[in-house]
Structure 1
């Protein structure tokens, strides 16, 4: 899936921001406390210049130094410093804690929605892009709460408090300084408009980098076998270069519109103050304390502006990242769900397909008018060339994709009438490529399903013949399993996958070329287990090796999405059709091997 750059409009950014703030509602008590402490810290800092101005004008200039008032003034100043430091620490800690909780909730919500999405969504969305949204993008959102909102509110309070103090000292001069507010707001608006498109592209390129990394790691064997390292390095380097260029454009916008402009405005404001007091000095004496306080307040006014402007980039990144996260959270391409209020149970496991037609993209049919019946205890084998529709039949039976045309029933009940729990508990699936998770052998057999004892696990493994290699492992059933089961052979992983399926004792067994990746000796062991597994169960088996499905009750031969032949192994050979040709071809390959 190619990433597209989506530039957020001002309205979309406001909607995203409000949605982000909604996650803070549950923490409103802690937020109120944090803001209250923030007000205390701001007040403590804003009072300090007034105390110094009083010292200069009331004591230093007239050369009067009474002990008690000066001690009181100094004590008050030191007390304000201590209050400011402690308050800033506590409010920062509270905001950090709230931010981490919010991001935690956000990640859980994203992950929860992703798990409900259907396979059609994952067919288009690369895994690296998903990981980037759940990790990198949510980390950017964390910065919004930790470094941005707290700074915005705190420095907003400082700016308001600064003007209040300036009006208290000299209302005329404070009015002159007010003209800078609209200029600052104009710069902020311009920056947000320009930077949004840059940061959207930066985030998109990070997703592409993650996707390429994930793809390369999973396909490393193929890359090395076909000597594709140079090509992959070139492609990865190109993506990184595009990320670099996007980042540089964002940094140029930051360098131009952030501190330099604010510093220029700050110099102009200080010049106005100095000119004002310069002209005042021609008229009469000026208050040096007030001059000091004004210069100090202007510095305290523009420094918060600088901090706000510098964090605008983080704010913009957080909004862009939040937009990407929310787009993922708003995906509603869910896996097909149960329809109706009935809750039928799967008992016998009889399956019927009736005139099923299916298309992945809504344009090209991969299945056309598929009809067959499988009774309890029967084995139905699906054979055909690649792309004939075998796996699509399995995907529909497993309800991975929605059924639009035709009907599928289990025990006479529509497939969509069964609950997800009932369907997954009674339809066991074994894929060609078995997937093992990090953990232990036992945890890979149970997959977290509760209610199974160690004896149940051992019995399932013994049933499929996996116990022979498990007992040789250091730790046995508690032996560690690395990511994707890299230390196990294909046959061993497949045996564990069989044990995983048989642990639930399903009424229906679905085998998607379950013996395709195992050696002959292991295949014989698995085939022996399969013969036991298929007893008193409805089995649907996709087979590449026709020798493994000779004893199937019915063999369905598919070609370009249609059933062109069906019958037993002997019947199909007598017809000398497509199945006969496939069988002779495989027999010839085995003789020449």
Structure 2
């Protein structure tokens, strides 16, 4: 019925024809305009093949199978009717020598006005006897000995033989007489077979061209989407769920691909076929064609009603699928909690309810299609029945050839298929337009950290960091940091401590320039971070986070992250400095060990050491450890402490930590509380103050900070 490669948020469908979006989409298609044009031409060629088949059938029937001639004898009437008509139809007649007899073929009779045919029959001028015309090569005397007088000889040597005489001849002799017709049927059959093979080949090329073009266009759009994602500020990802972003780059793109393949080219082909059928029907017999066209208003009205019903049914179906997706995503993520509290049966009841809604919506869509398809088949059958009744009468009256009637039936049956296709593709168009709108809405989003027009780079990066009266809030009117000021000199190790929600991680986010401060400035080596290029800044500032993300791939690639300038020796040195080399060398493949996404085969401590090596690989001047030791065992923490000690004399280090043992030896400790720096100093100085830091040390359980603001 309807392919769909994603779900529409909140069940919303787009307008089926949004020319603004189509214009933007055309920009991506423009580079492949030659391939698209080739696809269109191939589609037209296939449509022409389809239109040719019924016409070939007509030719075979009228010209070879039931070919016949009728005698016209002007001497049978004194009425000057023949003289009047011969002036108009003389070019359709052939004269039989001196006997003043004329003959007209069944093909030419349809070109005579039915009123004139009736006058000729009424006056007895046009006989009802049918004649077969044999070629000059047919020797009549071999087959007919008694009734040769009933055979008329034409000026070109051909013979007109009454069908009543041929009925009594053996089949072999009939085939000899009709050898020309047999040859004609064979030639047309060969043409038909050739067109069939040609259509098969052209269809293959058309499918390949359309798939190639569609995939390249979707590839370009997907690259543009991912490129746009990478330049967005972190604030953007805070507001957009991962699942929705993935849907943009996968399902929505596939919806566009389906629209391109199934709508643009196919609908164009269907419209061409419909137009071609109308033209051919008018050419074959315009009177009969106009009678058949009386069904068109009814068909188009039914199609419009179906489109509206299908749109509503499909909207409800997409809404229920959206519910199922949201439910499954949430429950799978929280499966540990569900099993922990034994709520499987309750969740199953909830899912059964949503699933039943989806079933009802699906059945509603099925009912719409189940009604529309038989109705279209009914009208198609009614049209064929009418043609058999009305057209058959015209054939009997010799006003219409049998081949024309058969061709009419074939074209009428062919006429309903494109209408069904266009109706079914209406919802694909709506879905694709909704996807297109969401894609371009996302691509128009520019929540980026601005790059300076003329970036400044210090002559020598030393790691001198200054926060000068910095204030910041993730949401307007809800500040997280209030007038923060501090300085970390080159080579110093500074620590930031505080309860959860005090603003520690926000300091790190600002320092990596994931966000810009609302007030104040952050200065690194005398240059405001806003005047640094992001690429240069992040090459001298490295961050090691608590939540380590491991990419699927080789272990060494997780350290280098694709930075080609990092040699194998540099990677190994970074691992050694992070004290990660011992566990790496214990792995079967060492640095070439394949890791799953998330590094499930590694322990938490090993993942943390790997993250630490990743941060050290670029030899940063400023190293930030954000809760980097909060989830590791004491042995791993000891290894990290040793690594920090190795490099403390060569780079500035900023540590955000829960474990006080990690920061006890820091040159300076900043104590944050409710977005402000309340205390600063060494461990001994802060303990002597007997303030917040002192209370944290007294209240900490198992060497971890735990305080309620």
Equivalent residue in structure 1 for 2:34, among 16, 29, 41 = 29
| Corresponding residue SS for 1:498 | helix
| C-alpha deviation, 1:530, in angstroms | 1.1
In 2, Cα distance between equivalents of 1:479 and 1:169: 74
Distance apart, 1:399 and its partner CA: 1.0
1:479 CA displacement: 1.8
Structure 1, 238-247 or 400-409: larger mean CA deviation:
238-247
Q: 1: distance between equivalents of 2:352 and 2:494?
A: 50
Deviates more, 1:209-218 or 1:526-535: 209-218
Give the 3 Å change call, closer, same or farther, for CA 213–450 of structure 1 in structure 2. farther
Checking the alignment, whether the CA contact within 8 Å between 1:152 and 1:308 is kept in structure 2 is yes
Answer yes or no: is 1:342 the counterpart of 2:455. Answer: yes
* Matched residue SS, 2:700: helix
* 2:204 equivalent in structure 1: 89
Equivalent position of 1:169 in the other structure: 284
TM-aligned CA distance change 1:226 to 1:392, over 3 Å: farther
Q: Does 1:124 align with 2:239?
A: yes
Tell me what 1:259 maps to.
Answer: 373
2:277/2:411 contact within 8 Å kept: yes
Indicate how the Cα distance of structure 1 residues 238 and 176 shifts in structure 2: closer, same or farther if over 3 A, else same: same
CA contact (8 A) 2:16 2:430 kept: no
The answer to which of 169-178 and 417-426 deviates more is 169-178
1:128–1:213 contact (8 Å) kept in structure 2 = no
**Equivalent of 1:585 in 682, 685, 699:** 699
1:79 shift after superposition:
2.9
Asked whether the equivalents of residues 132 and 210 of structure 1 are also in contact (C-alpha less than 8 Å), the reply is no
Preserved CA contact (<8 Å) 2:14 2:433? no
3-state SS in 2 of match to 1:356: strand
**1:300, CA displacement in angstroms?**
0.9
Deviation at 1:193, TM superposition (A): 4.9
Instruction: Assess, with a 3 A threshold, how the Cα gap between structure 1 residues 481 and 19 changes in structure 2: closer, same or farther.
Output: same
Shift of 1:189: 4.8
Checking the alignment, whether the CA contact within 8 Å between 2:13 and 2:431 is kept in structure 1 is: no
Structure 1 residues 240 and 579: alpha-carbon distance in aligned structure 2, compared to 1, 3 A threshold = farther
**1:141-180 equivalences in 2 (<5 Å):** 141-180=256-295
Tell me the equivalent position of 1:392.
506
Match of 2:433 among 302, 319, 322: 319
Q: 1:446 to 1:556 in 2, by over 3 A?
A: same
1:566 to 680, 684, 705: 680
For residue 45 of structure 2, the aligned residue among 36, 40, 46 is 40
1:307 is displaced (CA, Å) by: 2.4
- Hey, what does 2:570 align to over in structure 1? 456
Is the 1:382–1:390 Cα contact (8 Å) retained in structure 2? yes
Judged with a 3 Å threshold, the aligned counterparts in structure 2 of structure 1 residues 555 and 189 are, in CA distance, closer, same or farther, namely farther
Q: Which residue of 1 aligns with 2:96?
A: none
The answer (yes or no) to whether the contact 2:622–2:653 under 8 Å persists in 1 is: yes
Please list the CA deviations of residues 555-591 of structure 1 after superposition, one character each: whole Å capped at 9, or x if unmatched.
221111112222221121111111111111116868x
Residue of structure 2 in register with 1:474 after alignment: 588
Query: Which residue in 1 is equivalent to 2:14?
Result: 8
- Distance across 1 between alignment mates of 2:461 and 2:326: 43
Aligned-residue offset at 1:309: 2.2
Instruction: Find the aligned partners of 1:363 and 1:455 in 2 and give their Cα distance.
Output: 50
> Aligned equivalents of 1:525 and 1:555: distance in 2?
22
Out of 113, 129, 133, the residue aligned to residue 228 of structure 2 is 113
In the alignment, structure 1 residue 417 sits paired with structure 2 residue 500: no
Distance in 1 between residues matched to 2:309 and 2:440, nearest whole Å: 22
- CA distance in structure 1 between the partners assigned to 2:322 and 2:457 by the alignment: 43
| Cα RMSD for the two superposed structures | 3.0
| Alpha-carbon displacement from aligned partner over 1:322-343 (angstroms, at most 9, x marks no partner) | 3333333333223x13223233
How many residues align? The count is: 587
What are the Cα deviations for residues 205-254 of structure 1, in whole angstroms up to 9, with x where unaligned?
65665666666666666665565655665666666555555544544444
In 1, distance between residues paired with 2:202 and 2:578? 65
Q: Which runs of 5+ in 1 are unaligned?
A: none
Query: 1:390 Cα deviation (Å)?
Result: 0.7
1:171-208 alpha-carbon deviations (Å, 9 max, x no partner): 12223334444555555555555555665665566566
Q: Secondary structure at the match of 2:220?
A: helix
Higher helix share: 1
Matched position secondary structure for 1:342: coil
* Residue of structure 2 aligned with 1:53, choices 58, 74, 82: 58
Is the 8 Å Cα contact of residues 493 and 648 (structure 2) preserved in structure 1? yes
Q: Flag structure 2 segments of 5+ consecutive residues without an equivalent.
A: 1-7, 69-131, 133-177, 705-709
Counterpart-to-counterpart distance in 2, 1:228 and 1:540: 44
Say which SS state the counterpart of residue 365 (structure 1) adopts. Answer: coil
Q: State whether residues 141 and 321 of structure 1, in contact with CA within 8 Å, keep that contact through their aligned partners in structure 2.
A: yes
In 1: Cα distance, 2:228 partner to 2:355 partner: 30
Partner of 2:143: none
- Contact 1:432–1:514 at 8 Å: present in 2 too? yes
Q: What TM-score does the superposition give when structure 2 sets the normalisation length?
A: 0.76
SS of the equivalent of 1:448 reads coil
Distance 1:241 1:467 in 2: 55
